[in-house]
């Protein structure tokens, strides 16, 4: 099974030679998701060798341009390259009314079905589910309505411990109940607990995405217990005032949310173009939340290993 994130753009509003604005590719057990789609995202997808025709769902956090200006171009390219597979875009309700005229007046007739789904910006909500993954949206705290996303693995059927099959004389017809966490009654009439005869399941992985946002306890509650968190840290501590006035976060804000939410690994990004390198962010993160990493374009994080 695989679960990985590729940072396509680690920068804030201004694209630079070193950093593109926000977009991320998520591969969760071969579900292919794009979170945000800043200008140039299609080029970043090519650069990092990601087949964008595999994408099935796009999640747009909010309507500041550095989070969605690449969408019209990406859709147009998908169409030119002969896409037939349906694509679903989750985003603010206004997104459909912005994108459809852009495509219409450009004469683009999409050969694939494009679905828009509006995010609930008031409460946390499950927006996607299949047999192995669930995706939630939840409100962030920013200048305009903004949503974060939480991608969670669903529990998989338990594995029977092979050495217990003979020991308990387990039969095929017992397996399904045991794998679903149900105790069974053996031929002898004895109750056999599923915990005794199945292998301990691996911890389920989950990835929370919080950009753009101020530090918020409500946000920490919405993502509580996620194994991995991407939280924006647009600013360093010395620019806390600027972070507050623009409804963004500093390194410490991101770390505080990660601590409150009991996160294992923190990735910070959406780095302002005023900082030329990651050095100062790395220095501060080491102090505030040691198990963290400062994003750069092209960074790939394998959640199964970290």
Nearer to Zn ion, 31 or 62 (CB): 62
CB of residue 186 to Zn ion, shortest distance in Å: 59
Residue 152 within binding range of Zn ion, rule CB under 5 A: no
CB of residue 48 to Zn ion, shortest distance in Å: 23
- 302 catalytic per annotation: no
| Residue range at the interface with Zn ion (CB under 5 A); choices 37-45, 150-158, 166-174, 207-215 | 207-215
Nearer to Zn ion, 218 or 291 (CB): 218
Residues 6-65 that bind Zn ion (CB under 5 A): 64
- Residues binding Zn ion: what is the number (CB under 5 A)? 2
**DSSP character string of 243-290:** HHHTT--BHHHHHHHHHHTT-SEEEEE-B-TT--SSHHHHHHHHHH-S
- Among 66, 212, 253, 256, the active-site one is 66
CB of residue 212 to Zn ion, shortest distance in Å: 4
> 175 with 159: CB under 8 angstroms?
no
Nearer to Zn ion, 128 or 235 (CB): 235
Give the contact letters, 62-81, x = binds to Zn ion (CB under 5 A), - = no.
--x-----------------
| Residue range at the interface with Zn ion (CB under 5 A); choices 44-52, 168-176, 183-191, 204-212 | 204-212
Taken as a whole, the chain contains a residue count of: 306
> 151 with 28: CB under 8 angstroms?
yes
CB of residue 216 to Zn ion, shortest distance in Å: 14
> 282 with 275: CB under 8 angstroms?
no
| Residue range at the interface with Zn ion (CB under 5 A); choices 43-51, 52-60, 205-213, 262-270 | 205-213
> 11 with 36: CB under 8 angstroms?
no
Q: How far apart are CA 265 and CA 283, in angstroms?
A: 16
Q: How are strands ordered across the β-sheet holding 292-294?
A: 125-129, 133-139, 147-153, 206-210, 228-232, 265-269, 292-294
Nearer to Zn ion, 64 or 174 (CB): 64
Name the residue whose CB lies closest to Zn ion: 64
Nearer to Zn ion, 8 or 160 (CB): 8
Q: How far apart are CA 60 and CA 127, in angstroms?
A: 13
Nearer to Zn ion, 237 or 247 (CB): 247
CB of residue 63 to Zn ion, shortest distance in Å: 8
- SS3 for 212-229, per residue? CCCCCHHHHHHCCCCCEE
Residues 210-229 that bind Zn ion (CB under 5 A): 212
CB of residue 165 to Zn ion, shortest distance in Å: 55
Residues 6+ apart with CB under 8 A from 200: none
Cα distances (Å, whole numbers) of residue 233 to 20, 49, 120, 237, 278:
15, 27, 25, 10, 11
Any idea which residue has 């020991």 for tokens?
Answer: 167
SS3 44: helix
Site residues (vs Zn ion, CB under 5 A)? 64, 212
Active site residues: 66
């Amino acid at each position: 099974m695989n679960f990985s994130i590729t940072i396509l753009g680690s920068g804030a509003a201004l694209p630079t030679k070193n950093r593109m604005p926000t977009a991320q590719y998520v591969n969760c057990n071969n579900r292919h998701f794009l979170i945000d789609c800043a200008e140039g995202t299609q080029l970043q997808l090519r650069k990092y060798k990601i087949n964008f025709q595999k994408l099935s769902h796009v999640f747009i956090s909010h309507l500041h341009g550095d989070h969605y200006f690449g969408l019209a171009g990406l859709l147009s390219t998908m169409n030119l390259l002969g896409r037939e597979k349906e694509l679903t875009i989750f985003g603010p309700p206004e997104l459909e009314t912005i994108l459809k005229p852009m495509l219409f007046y450009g004469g683009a007739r999409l050969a694939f079905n494009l679905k828009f789904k509006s995010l609930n910006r008031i409460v946390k909500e499950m927006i996607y589910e299949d047999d192995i993954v669930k995706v939630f949206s939840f409100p962030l705290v920013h200048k305009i309505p903004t949503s974060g996303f939480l991608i969670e693995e669903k529990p998989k059927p338990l594995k029977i411990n092979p050495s217990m099959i003979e020991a308990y004389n387990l039969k095929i017809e017992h397996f399904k109940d045991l794998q679903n966490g149900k105790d069974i009654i053996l031929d002898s009439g004895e109750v056999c607990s599923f915990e005794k005869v199945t292998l301990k399941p691996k911890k389920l992985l989950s990835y929370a995405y919080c950009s753009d946002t101020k530090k918020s306890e409500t946000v920490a509650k919405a993502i509580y217990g996620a194994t991995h968190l991407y939280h924006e840290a647009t600013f360093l501590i010395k620019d806390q005032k600027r972070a507050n006035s623009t409804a963004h976060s500093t390194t410490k804000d991101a770390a505080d949310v990660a601590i409150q939410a009991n996160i294992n690994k923190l990735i910070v990004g959406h780095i302002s173009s005023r900082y030329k390198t990651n050095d100062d962010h790395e220095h501060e993160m080491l102090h505030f939340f040691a198990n963290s990493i400062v994003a750069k374009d092209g960074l790939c994080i394998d959640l199964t290993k970290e």
